[in-house]
Amino acid sequence: MRALVAGLAAGSLLLAGCTWGSDDPSPAPHGSPTSHGSLDAALSTPVEDRVYPQVGDPGVDALHYGLDLTWSPDSSTLDAVETLVLRATSDAPTFQLDLEHALAVSSVTVDGRDAAYDHEGKDLVVRTPVTADHRYTVVLHYAGTPNPVAAPTTRSDFSTLGWTITHKGEVWTMQEPFGAYSWYAVNDQPSDKALYDFTISAPSPMVGIANGTLESRHDEGDRTVTRWHLAEPASSYLTTIAIGDFRETRDRSASGVPVTYWTPRDRPALVDRLRPAADELGWIEDRLGPYPFSSLGVVVVDSRSGMETQTMITLGSTAYDTSPEVLLHEMVHQWYGDEVTPADWRDVWMSEGMALYLQGLWQAEHDHLPVRALMARWARAEPQMRRESGPPADYDPATFGAGNVYYGPALMWDQLRRRLGDERFWAVVRAWPKAHEDANASYDDLTDFWSERTGTDLHPFFDSWLLGATSPSFP
Ligand SMILES: [Zn+2]
């Protein structure tokens, strides 16, 4: 997510928040897994989240979501058929998914047999006993008008999460730290990555956008149907759906990554604001190594924030959200946040600290401002953020995504770069996502990794920056 404190950054000085196989022998629908083996990439070790334990169930390891979504803007109705392949992580009499109550479930089957279920609040409890490490195919039918969920934040750029309907009946989603459950039944926590296939039907000229690559686009009567395939597993907060009258523009990075821009047809100038993305991707690859996924897209929606949704970045349509620095920030997240994802929301600093740090380095370069001067400015502002929202890795759950998880960790990385020297520092920065490709990592994983790779016990250094009640001195 972009840093909200615009004004603290460089030149104009950004100040704030930044910014499938199933055991079911029946024929598989589109997007269904066809063999168990191909889903192994999505095996995860789900944990109970320490910050938001009310969301997600560590008993479920979702492997593949096949989401068939039909949007009717006239009635604001979403009709959905979801095919979920999951692995049970333990023996249990039931299993649980998150699904907002405004969506009425009409049927649930498990491996082709009708299953009993309870749906109270957002908790969808399926009363089918499961056995540890067995895989199950769950098919759900549900429909309704999705309700966005309240965001646990004091940020000014968003207050709700999930499926959002515009006055034109268009749709966009942003859902960090949770809220994917406002539009599908999901294990809505970062530690459970899964593969996705989406089929979206919308009345023409609307078109549905999602993560991954566009596999097909065709008309069915007065509707447009698109199919999207995400080949690398993603956490639920990194999924995206946008439905609107979008124009598609194709580009390519110097390294050969296909880049696609989806912009509102009635705002043709917006695409020019996104074109720096292809060059910026090269700047990031010079520091973080090759882009980790097979394609990159950007979709511009009627929001006032920006999200690093995996392989399809979702940006608000404001001047700041479509600025080169926010684009760069969300692209850095494709390595830090998407390729390697915190196992627990306590460690969102892992994603935001590096994204803001590279954003700062890029801005300093572009504004001909010494990095030291920019970091000194951040260091003056950071203590108050820590006082207001807590240490970066032990923050107040009601202030998700505040400045404290961005600026302190960015300063920490700069101090470590100066201590280790550029060559050693960047070698470890590059190695970390690669060593945790398509996986999750914890605080201890990261601090152990840096200590081992540098041959130095860096635990006290990280603890002081990330867990200290007061800010370490920044020389
Ligand atoms: Zn961010």
Tell me, in angstroms, the distance from the centre of ligand 1 to residue 1's CA: 3
Strands 117-120 and 223-234: unpaired
Q: What number of other Cβ atoms are within 10 A of residue 448's Cβ?
A: 14
d(CA 42, ligand 1 centre) in Å: 24
Spacing, Cα 95 to ligand 1 middle (Å): 32
Residues in the chain: 475
Name residues whose C-beta falls within 8 Å of residue 356's C-beta, 6 or more positions apart in sequence: 3, 18, 329, 406, 407, 409, 410
DSSP 8-51: SSSTT-EEEEE----S--SPPPTT----GGGGGGG-------SS
7-54: pLDDT as tens digits: 575 544 343 333 433 333 343 444 445 444 589 999 999 999 999 999
Q: How far is the CA of 328 from the centre of ligand 1 (A)?
A: 10
Q: How many CB atoms lie within 10 A of CB 30?
A: 14
26 versus 128: which is more confidently predicted? Answer: 128
In degrees, to the nearest 5, what angle opens at C-alpha 263 toward C-alphas 260 and 267?
A: 145
Question: Given this model, what pLDDT does residue 17 score?
Answer: 35
pLDDT 10s digits, 430-472: 999 999 999 999 999 999 999 999 999 999 999 999 999 999 9
Task: Tell me the pLDDT band of 82, cut-offs 50, 70 and 90.
Answer: very high
Gap from CA of 416 to ligand 1 centroid (Å):
20
Backbone angles phi, psi at 357, to 5 degrees: -60, -50
Span from the CA of 55 to the centroid of ligand 1 (angstroms): 21
Between the alpha carbon of residue 354 and those of residues 52, 154, 178, 366, 406, the distances in Å are: 23, 22, 21, 18, 8
Q: Quick one: DSSP state of residue 453?
A: H
More confident residue, 4 or 83: 83
Q: Are 153 and 399 in contact (CB under 8 A)?
A: yes
Whole-number Å distance between alpha carbons of 334 and 284:
10
Give the confidence band of 475 by pLDDT, cuts at 50, 70, 90.
confident
Backbone angles phi, psi at 325, to 5 degrees: -70, -35
Confidence at 5, pLDDT banded by 50, 70, 90 = low
Distances (CA, A) of 474 to 3, 76, 109, 408, 409: 21, 52, 57, 10, 12
Output the CA 222–ligand 1 centroid distance in Å.
38
